[in-house]
Chains A and B, each alone.
Chain A
Amino acid sequence: MLGNINRSDKSKRIINILIIIVSILVIIASVMLIMKFVGREKSDTPPNSSTTTTQSTTVITTTSPEVEPPPASDNDAVDDSYFDDTVFVGDSITVGYSAYGFIEEKSVLASQGMNIEKINTEKVKSPGNGNYIILDHLINLKPNKIYVMLGSNGIAWLSNEFMIGEYDDFINGIKEALPDSIVYVVSVPPVTKELEDGDNPITNKMIDEFNSGLEEMANQNSVHYLDLASELKDDNGYLFDEFAEKDGMHFKYAAYEKSLDFFLRHTAKK
């Protein structure tokens, strides 16, 4: 009899222990499920980011500008169909016009590293347009308008005299081959204070001096000079942080918007 009672007590103890173990396991499983669910929700909503959508392009940016750029005026602005028969010539900054989807790739004759020293010798390697020398391709395309922006590559290691001389040759080559095309020479854009204070040898003083020579060359050749640089710099002469990629020189989406808006407000009939 006593033995029966002891066995019964022992069984009850075992059952109780099992109940506790199962309860603990269920609690652990529930907590894990809840944590997984919460974690999935967090990754759906990236913190500290904003999105803007234009046409079919979505850009992810994470910026908080310290200084707001001045508002653009809209005097005599034309609409962006002005760019339909236009070509943009330049370096990596110009590539961004097509990379961001503003201008079709076929109308952007530019490549990373392009500079005025090698513009007539180095081919642009374009997956869509083949490999070409820019002036040759310009002649093939016969655009009504041509925007040229070169100089960011070179200012730090080539003399202004040499660069302006090469630029003059290039512009004359365009004018000779395409006398009916409207040619715009665009100033080299500024860089940020952070870049200037860093290891990169380029400075805004160097850029301003080059642009001064560029404007003179453009006037002498009777082509249009566009001072885009002034549109993009703050009161201290630096590229607005809102416009600058992390390297302090290349453009974010907003800078291209600003640039194209500036171009549309400064057009010439011939």
Chain B
Amino acid sequence: MQKFIYILMGTFVIATLFLVTGCGKTETKNPDVKDITDKLIDEIDFATLTELDDDRLDFFYKINDDIIDSYSAYICGSAGFPDEIAVFKLKDSANMQQVKEAIANRRETLVANFKDYRPEEMPKIDSSVLFTKGDYVIFVVSGENDKAGDIVKDFFN
């Protein structure tokens, strides 16, 4: 009887530990792209951003629509700052390179726009975040890129 009680309690403790540690890993490996941008906007002090729709996304990021599962992207509406967020979830991570090239081109455009016009904004672009994990590619330009990078990583830990 004693042994049985010990086994039962041990099982209970182990189950509880699994429950506690396992909960942190449930939903974050496949996060919704909008959840990521919402959290970034909530916690980072960006310049005023405006959201990109399908047509306008195409102007700033040349990516074949067929390879994108979902996206959420914002640029600085006033054009006075390089602040930007682009979160892409691909249908297949094999197409990652195309998205990374589109982001690289966009980054070059930001450099060209701001290096002479507002050189004080260049550190935001120089330290911009480019994060890839599984089917996700994420690009962030802000005044708090370290923090932005941590926010993004937390979705995948």
Chain A interface residues toward B at CB < 8 A: 11, 15, 18-19, 21-22, 25-26, 28-29, 32-33, 36, 43-44, 46, 49, 56-61, 92-93, 95-96, 99-101, 105, 111-113, 125, 127-128, 153, 245-247, 249-253
Contacts and interface: CB of A to CB of B under 8 A. Distances in A.
Interface of B: 2, 5-6, 9, 12-13, 16-17, 19-20, 23-24, 38-39, 41-42, 47-51, 53, 56, 59-60, 62, 74-81, 105-106, 109, 112-114, 116-118
A43 B37 CA distance: 11
B100 to A, nearest CB: 16
25 contacts: A18-B5, A19-B9, A22-B16, A29-B16, A29-B19, A32-B23, A33-B19, A36-B23, A43-B38, A43-B42, A46-B41, A49-B42, A58-B50, A96-B78, A96-B79, A105-B56, A113-B118, A125-B109, A127-B60, A127-B109, A153-B117, A245-B78, A247-B80, A250-B79, A252-B78
Contact of B2 (A15, A28, A36): A15
Contacts, number: 120
Contact of B49 (A28, A46, A56, A60): A60
A99 B109 contact: no
Nearest to A42: B42
Contacts of B53: 56-57, 101
Contacts of A127: 59-60, 62, 105-106, 109
Given A93-B79, A96-B79, A99-B79, A43 B39 contact: yes
Contacts of A247: 80-81
Nearest to A128: B59
Contacts of A101: 50, 53, 56
A250 B78 contact: yes
Given A29-B16, A246-B47, A105 B59 contact: yes
B13 A112 contact: no
A228 to B, nearest CB: 16
A58 B51 contact: yes
B113 A253 contact: no
Given A15-B2, A46-B41, A112 B118 contact: yes
B80 A253 contact: no
Nearest to A46: B42
A186 to B, nearest CB: 16
